[in-house]
Amino acid sequence: MIFITGDTHGEYNDTVSRFAENGVGKGDTVIVCGDFGFVGRIGGKHQYYLKQLAKEEFTILFVDGNHENFDVLETYPVVEYCGGRAHKVAENIYHLMRGQIFDIEGKRYFTFGGAYSIDKFMRKEGRSWWARELPSNEEYKEAGENLEKVGYKVDYVLTHTMPDSMIYRIGKNTDVHDAELTGYFEWLYRQLDFKKWFAGHWHINRNFDGKMYILYDEMIRMEK
C-alpha cells in the first residue's frame, strides 16, 4: 500500500505517530511531499532519528522541500530506483530527485521538489538555508526530456510547492523569488495529462476538485 503525506520536518515522534495512526506497516510505502527534514548535520539528532527510521519495515520516499540540508543530502549515492534517479539514504529511504519519473506499484509518478524560503533572511547559509532549494536549469531540462519520453502523461505528480493558480486559491500570492518554479508548475498543470497532484509546503490540508491535494499532517491512502 502507498501512503502520501506532507512535511515531517524531522519531527520524529510526530512522524512515527502519524505513520502508526494511519496503519502504515510492513511492506508499505510512504511518500513525503518535501521538508522531510531527517537528513541533517552529521552527528546531529536527525542522524539518530534517521537511523531509527531505517529500521522500519516499510519504505520511505521523499521529494525535497526548501528546508532540507542539501549539503548532506547530496553526499548520498545516486542510484536508479523504480526507473528514475534517487539518492539512496538507507536501504528503505530514498530521495526522489527532481525531474524524474518513477514506476511505483504500476503507477507513473513525476517528481519535482524544491521551493523558496520566505524566511531566508532569518536563516544562515550552509546551516539552516541552502541555495539548492530552488531548481537548476539542468533539472528543468531533464524534467522536460523525461516528460517528452512519456508523452507528458503520468498518473501522479509529487512536488513541494504548487502551481500559481492553486496558491491564489488558498488566499496566498506567489513570491517573486518563487515565480519561475510556481510558474513552471502552472504550465505543467495545464500541459500534463495526470490524475492527481500532491504537494506539501503550505502547512494545510486541502483538496481541490479531487485533483490537487495540499497535505500537511494528513495522509492519503492510494488506490491500487
Cβ–Cβ < 8 Å for 33, 64: no
Nearest CA-CA partner of 100 in 58, 62, 70 = 62
Cα–Cα distance for residue pair 92/182, rounded to 1 Å: 30
pLDDT (0 to 100) of residue 125: 82
DSSP state of 77: P
Cα–Cα distance for residue pair 99/146, rounded to 1 Å: 7
Question: What does the pLDDT look like over 54-92, one tens digit per residue?
Answer: 999 999 999 999 999 999 999 999 999 999 999 999 999
Question: What does the pLDDT look like over 119-165, one tens digit per residue?
Answer: 876 788 877 778 899 999 999 999 999 999 999 999 999 999 999 99
Domain count, the chain: 1
Cα–Cα distance for residue pair 189/186, rounded to 1 Å: 5
Range of the domain at 101: 2-221
pLDDT (0 to 100) of residue 45: 84
Strand order in the sheet with 219-221: 78-81, 84-90, 93-96, 59-63, 29-33, 2-5, 219-221
What percent of the chain clears pLDDT 70, i.e. is strictly above it? 98
CATH number at residue 56: 3.60.21
